[in-house]
Chain A
Amino acid sequence: MRRFIIRRVLQSLLIVWAVMSLSWLLIAISPGGPAAALAENRRVSPETIAAIRASYGLDQPLFVQYFTWMFRVFTLDFGRSYSQTLPALQVIGGRVWPTLQLGFVSYVISLLGIPLGVYAARHRGKLADKMVRVLTVLGSTMPVWWFSLVVIIILANTVKWFPQGQGTEGVGDWFLHLIIPAALLSIGGLVAFSRFVRAETLEVLNQDYVRTANAKGLSAKQVNRWHVFRNSLLPVVTIFGYLLPTVLGGAALTETIFNWPGMGRLSVESVSQRDMPVLLALFLIFSVLTVLGNLIADIGYGVVDPRVRYE
């Protein structure tokens, strides 16, 4: 077990390094940068532009830039944001808490997919199952950004109000501003959970031990509680790892639509402004989160399922 964890942690570090290098390379070769906008302006002399580029270290050869940058990342220094004269981490720092709120609440809402999936599996082929299927199909084929706009317009035309940014007037206002984007953001996870749990429950219902439990005269309630749920919910742990980056990364659209001051919107803004230091720091944060999610999922799976043995 310990060897497995050590190996997985090392592997994860390697992955994070590869993600960082790849995104650095992509961003380094993409056009734009701190001096690009100024270069358009004729009154700015080439010397000034060269000086600005030099102050960000952009006059160095690529590989030198790469190693200086990598070295700095180890000391958690991502450089200064190009668009705001703040350190990149400080720019991101202000955005972390709103994203965590949104991500957490939407994750909790998407957990509703579990009872939905179990219910659909237990009533397979009946109306309830079909309804859940229609909902999941709609949820996975509708562009969520468009659906969010529709919701905004319906709200604006009926109650003359829709959530814009974070609520500032008390807890009730805060909650109202949070719950609508969170509910819309949770659609993907809700669909994933309910489909996954439905399939797993159907799989478990076909197992010999469920038949045995039924045959020895246990009530349906007992069979479901002790033999079906406990087993069908095991693999849900793995989906957690995949959902973590989806919830946070997918928030880019939702946060943009609802003007939510989070990291997703920041990522879109940084791309528009070619704010490389901020963008790279965001990439690192997301990839660390993803790797962590997968790690937790792998280890968690072994903890909840004793049949899994690590080499």
Chain B
Amino acid sequence: MSQTTSPISAMPGAVIAPVRSKKVSKSFFASSFARFMHSRLNVVTLVILVIITVISYAAPWIAANILHQDRDTIDFNLLTQGLQPPVSPGQGGHLLGTDELGRDLAVRLIYGGQVSLSVGFLTAAISVVIGTTLGLVSGFFGGWVDDLINFVVQVLQNIPTLFLLLVVSTLFAPNVLSLSLTIGLISWTGGARFIRGAVLSLRNRDYIDAARVTGASNTRLMGVHILPNVISLMLVQVGFDVVGAMLLESGLSFLGFGLSIPIPSWGNMLSNSKDYFTSAVWLVYAPALAFFVTVLCVYLVADGLRDAFDPRLRE
């Protein structure tokens, strides 16, 4: 049991054997998390991300109880006050002002965050589940299964993602679910390759052979003995998938193939704002800042996780 795996020879994602000592040694995840929290940048970005997520998902409550505004209601009182939408921040009882139709910008912004983050999270979840499953199967079995999955991966990677999304968006009006599904269904290929590479180096380990000798089935080998060792890779992949999905959603919105009106998303608010760069600059700043800070935080958290999990960077 006193296996001595030196940190340097350990492969990515491998669990480092606990060293017997009087101190209770930490698990791989606990020690990685400690390493993650050791960096101030990681802590800050994680906290900001959590705050933004909480605010976005509490949008209905915040709108009703703090801002007292509706997402899609056009404020006609503005006209009686002699204000012409878009109204600048602070006027007519609107914290961040209103958009060009007279709808409260603050409320639309937090609802938009909910939509954008949902697209990001949902897409990442779909893509990572497909990617991990197929990567696991293809790396574990090899042979024709591997060839087949590789073929599908190559076919998907051969179609420019944006084109495919444009065509698919003509099939049905995009909503959060359909958009996430389509992005998720075509963006798993990178993750699958990544996981497959890790599984290839894990499947010939002695502990796998030992488990097989004791009678573990293939499913058990994959699920119980290999999967936990690639979870760290999956987490990192989720982060980058969220970033990719949010950027794609914004690009689609700009081309006019994104989520349909009146659902606000940071992507379509951003692309909407392009006509107001000079006349109503708050319409640009608010979604741009929210979008950029969020994507940046997700990216930095994923980057930090990757470093924290990387056995080569361990002391």
> Interface of chain A, helix or strand or loop or mixed?
helix
The answer for the CA separation of A102 and B269 in the assembled complex, in Å, is 29
**B278 in the interface (beta carbon within 8 A):** yes
**A145 in the interface (beta carbon within 8 A):** yes
With known contacts A31-B170, A249-B160, A271–B257 Cβ distance under 8 A: yes
* Interface hit among A21-29, A46-54, A74-82: A21-29
**A224 in the interface (beta carbon within 8 A):** no
Residues B218-276 near A (CB distance < 8 A): 243, 247, 250-251, 254-257, 270, 274
Cβ of A99 to closest chain B Cβ, rounded Å: 13
Q: Are A141 and B163 in contact (CB under 8 A)?
A: no
Q: Which residue of A lies closest to B169 (CB)?
A: A271
With known contacts A29-B171, A30-B171, A143–B161 Cβ distance under 8 A: no
Cβ of B137 to closest chain A Cβ, rounded Å: 20
Provide the residues of chain B in CB contact with A194, threshold 8 Å: none
**A223 in the interface (beta carbon within 8 A):** no
Provide the residues of chain A in CB contact with B278, threshold 8 Å: 153, 157
Residues A253-275 near B (CB distance < 8 A): 253, 256, 267-268, 271-272, 274
Provide the residues of chain B in CB contact with A256, threshold 8 Å: 255
Residues A196-212 near B (CB distance < 8 A): none
With known contacts A141-B292, A256-B255, A274-B170, A18–B155 Cβ distance under 8 A: yes
Q: Are B299 and A137 in contact (CB under 8 A)?
A: yes
Partner of B299, one of A26, A140, A145: A140
**A245 in the interface (beta carbon within 8 A):** yes
Provide the residues of chain A in CB contact with B303, threshold 8 Å: 137
Cβ of B123 to closest chain A Cβ, rounded Å: 16
**A146 in the interface (beta carbon within 8 A):** yes
**B300 in the interface (beta carbon within 8 A):** yes
> Interface of chain B, helix or strand or loop or mixed?
helix
Residues B151-180 near A (CB distance < 8 A): 151, 154-155, 157-164, 166-168, 170-171
Q: Are A249 and B243 in contact (CB under 8 A)?
A: no
The answer for the CA separation of A218 and B256 in the assembled complex, in Å, is 59
Q: Are A252 and B167 in contact (CB under 8 A)?
A: no
Provide the residues of chain A in CB contact with B255, threshold 8 Å: 252-253, 256, 268
With known contacts A23-B167, A140-B299, A253–B158 Cβ distance under 8 A: no
**B291 in the interface (beta carbon within 8 A):** yes
Q: Are A141 and B243 in contact (CB under 8 A)?
A: yes
**B296 in the interface (beta carbon within 8 A):** yes
Provide the residues of chain B in CB contact with A271, threshold 8 Å: 163, 166-167, 170, 257
Cβ of A30 to closest chain B Cβ, rounded Å: 5
Q: Are B250 and A143 in contact (CB under 8 A)?
A: yes
Partner of A22, one of B159, B166, B247: B159
Q: Are A15 and B163 in contact (CB under 8 A)?
A: no
Residues A228-257 near B (CB distance < 8 A): 245, 248-250, 252-253, 256
Provide the residues of chain A in CB contact with B270, threshold 8 Å: 143, 146
The answer for the CA separation of A253 and B270 in the assembled complex, in Å, is 15
Q: Are A283 and B299 in contact (CB under 8 A)?
A: no
Provide the residues of chain A in CB contact with B277, threshold 8 Å: 149-150, 153
Q: Are B159 and A19 in contact (CB under 8 A)?
A: yes
The answer for the CA separation of A15 and B159 in the assembled complex, in Å, is 10
Q: Which residue of A lies closest to B277 (CB)?
A: A153
The answer for the CA separation of A39 and B61 in the assembled complex, in Å, is 46
Q: Which residue of A lies closest to B287 (CB)?
A: A146
Q: Which residue of B lies closest to A248 (CB)?
A: B160
With known contacts A146-B288, A249-B160, A141–B299 Cβ distance under 8 A: yes
**A286 in the interface (beta carbon within 8 A):** yes
* Interface pairs A-B: 10 shortest CB-CB: A249-B160, A271-B166, A287-B158, A141-B295, A290-B158, A18-B155, A153-B277, A143-B250, A141-B296, A30-B170
Interface residues of B (CB under 8 A from A): 151, 154-155, 157-164, 166-168, 170-171, 243, 247, 250-251, 254-257, 270, 274, 277-278, 288, 291-292, 295-296, 299-300, 303
Q: List 7 A-B contacts (CB under 8 A).
A: A32-B170, A146-B288, A153-B277, A245-B160, A250-B160, A253-B251, A271-B170
